Amino acid sequence: MNNNDIIIIGGGLGGLTTGALLAKEGRKVTILEKNNIVGGGLQNFTRKGILFDTGMHMLGGFRPGQTLYRICQHLGIMQKLKLQRVDSDCMDEIYYASNHTIYRVAEGKAGFVESFATHFPHQRAQLQRYVDAIYELADEIDLFNLRPTGDGIPLHSERFMWSADEFIAHYIDDEQLRDVLAYMNPMYGGVSGHTPAYVHALISALYINGTDRFVGGSQQLATALAEVIEHAGGEVVGGAEVIRIAVDNRTVTQVQTKDGRSFSAPYYIAATHMGETLRLIDKGAFTPAYTKRISNTENSYSIFSLYVKLKPETFSYINHTCYYQHDYNQVWNLGQYHREDWPYGMMYMTPPNEQQNEWATHLIINCVMPFSAVEQWQDTQTGRRGEAYAQWKAWHEQRIIDRMEEVKPGFTQCIDHVWSASPLTVRDYYHAPQGAIYGFVKDCHNPLATQIPVATKVSNLFLTGQCVGLHGICGVPLSAITTAEALVGKNKIIEQLQNTAPK
């Protein structure tokens, strides 16, 4: 192969990590990102002097020896990142409004078990077996543990592909505890009876092992990854929206951008949502069966986010993530929308800044929402969605504020200003169909439909990003390794990660 040129469409976590790994292997990479600033879910924005994160609030895998730590160390960027550990004795706080119960969840296996055993002492032994099972499932995945993969089809235990709720119920008798243990659902887009147990296990293990936050915004990771690419002679081009992937005889010949430029290279990687990739690529490039399969794959739910600038010294900085559940038996219904009941749950956090003191400057509140809630405005454009939409948005902002009042009486008085983003914002900002926050739904009944190989039938086109594997700070970089290795050789990067980083 020509070692020098790879074009990556999309400069989110997937495109940038794949690009940085390839740059480290000596490849010259060009990233084409439609937004002016790269980062996708890592991007920050500023309003009234406050820096807000868009799609990356909670980090796992960054403790010494863990997956992300080793990847970033391999890329030489670990020391550039400013991270803060959340409270070890309370990484997450879950509040159930229906009975005013607060569960404070400590990190580490023992701490996790103890946190729930305090409320459910009769379930202590079951909790221990449940957490052991989570770690056993996580250990089944070579990539998650940065182990080389063999050539055969990976063999997994039967419970690997149980549904997540079935998995929890297998170990835990108590109905309430089952519900509480699924509290990380918004972190993986859980759907009852469909989300595989391994997804629940990986995300749970990731955060139980230690949760961190970016200090001063997640953009720093995008910047650090871009620097690796540029340092190796590559280029990161913002404001370069790809409008066509031209294919001739099952080979990409060039990509064209909205501003009339064209770029060509021996190899191409699509790091966009797969729906966007299908939209861009010449018709007939993929087989009809493949196109149909991708088009019919269900997207994960979307989100409504409230960004709050707080009045000075009114709201305490909270060094952990807070979850709000309106009632029990709703955690698996988060993806449903009934206006009168919405939201069933919320997550809120006070991201730390460089001069963090006891007071929070801002708050981000995320509430799961399906795209159907905004479907009637799907043909409108940002800033021109009309008065009915503005009213709809204002109603939902107020609903969230009302819920926050339940948890923190007097909250309204702390607000300086609010902004919000709906599933339409998410769709348009990332070019993610239906505003899907985690790519495709992972389905234990149809695993093949939701695991997309990184190589395609178009000989020089590869895929990366959250649609091909797992989402988030852990899943996307792991798929980046698979994609980069498709170009540089199987296990080549994994073996280096094993040799150069502490285990």
- Spell out, one character per residue from 265 to 304, where the chain touches ligand FAD: x when CB under 6 A holds, - when not: ------xx---x---x----------------------x-
33 binds ligand FAD (CB under 6 A): yes
Rounded Cα–Cα distance for residues 68 and 59 (Å): 9
Q: Is 242 among the residues that bind ligand FAD (CB under 6 A)?
A: yes
> C-beta of 384: minimal distance to ligand FAD in Å?
20
What DSSP assignment string belongs to 223-279?
A: HHHHHHHHHTT-EEESS--EEEEEEETTEEEEEEETTS-EE--SEEEE-S-HHHHHH
DSSP string, 400-424: HHHHHHHHSTTHHHHEEEEEEE-HH
Find out whether 450 and 440 touch, Cβ atoms under 8 Å.
yes
Residue 189 parent element (H or E)? none
What residue has token string 């004795």? 89
Q: Which range touches ligand FAD (CB under 6 A), out of 107-115, 121-129, 409-417, 430-438?
A: 430-438
| Window contacting ligand FAD (CB under 6 A); options: 49-57, 96-104, 149-157, 335-343 | 49-57
Examine residue 67 and tell whether it contacts ligand FAD (CB under 6 A).
no
255 bridge partner residues: 245, 263
Q: 171 and 126 in contact (C-beta within 8 Å)?
A: yes
DSSP string, 87-120: PTT-SEEEEETTTTEEEEE-SSHHHHHHHHHTT-
Residue placing its CB nearer to ligand FAD in the complex, 374 or 476: 476
For helices 197-208 and 164-171, give the axis angle rounded to 10 degrees.
70
Instruction: Look up residue 12 and give its amino acid.
Output: G
Choices 8-16, 98-106, 259-267, 334-342; region in contact with ligand FAD by CB under 6 A: 8-16
Residue 247, annotated as binding a ligand: no
How near is the Cβ of 435 to ligand FAD at its closest, in Å?
8
Q: Which is nearer to ligand FAD, 220 or 305 (CB)?
A: 305
Cβ closer to ligand FAD: 172 or 269? 269
Is 218:84 a contact under the CB 8 Å cutoff?
Answer: no
Task: Return the number of the residue (411 or 430) whose C-beta is nearest ligand FAD.
Answer: 430
Binding-site member from 8, 23, 56, 197 for ligand FAD (CB under 6 A): 56
Kindly tell me which residue out of 430, 434, 483, 485 binds ligand FAD, with binding defined by CB under 6 A: 430
CB closer to ligand FAD, 269 vs 414: 269
Q: Tokens at residue 16, please? A: 């940038």
Q: What is the crossing angle of helices 492-500 and 67-74, to 10°?
A: 100
Judged by CB under 6 A, which stretch of 6-14, 90-98, 453-461, 493-501 contacts ligand FAD?
6-14
Is there binding between residue 441 and ligand FAD (CB under 6 A)? no
- Output the smallest distance, CB 320 to ligand FAD, in A: 13
- Count of residues interacting with ligand FAD (CB under 6 A): 38
Look at the block and give the residue holding tokens 């559940």. 325
Based on the shown chain and the rule CB under 6 A, indicate whether residue 477 belongs to the binding site for ligand FAD. Answer: no
Q: Note the Cα 163 to chain centre separation in Å.
A: 20
Contact status, residue 113 vs residue 208, Cβ threshold 8 Å = no
- Of all residues in this chain, which one has the CB nearest to ligand FAD in the complex? 12
437 binds ligand FAD (CB under 6 A): yes
The distance in angstroms from the start CA to the end CA of the chain is 32
Give the shortest CB-474-to-ligand FAD separation in angstroms.
7
> Which positions touch ligand FAD (CB under 6 A)?
9-15, 32-35, 40-41, 55-58, 241-242, 271-272, 276, 280, 303, 305, 366, 426, 430-432, 437-438, 465-466, 471-473, 476
Residues at the annotated binding site for FAD? Answer: 242
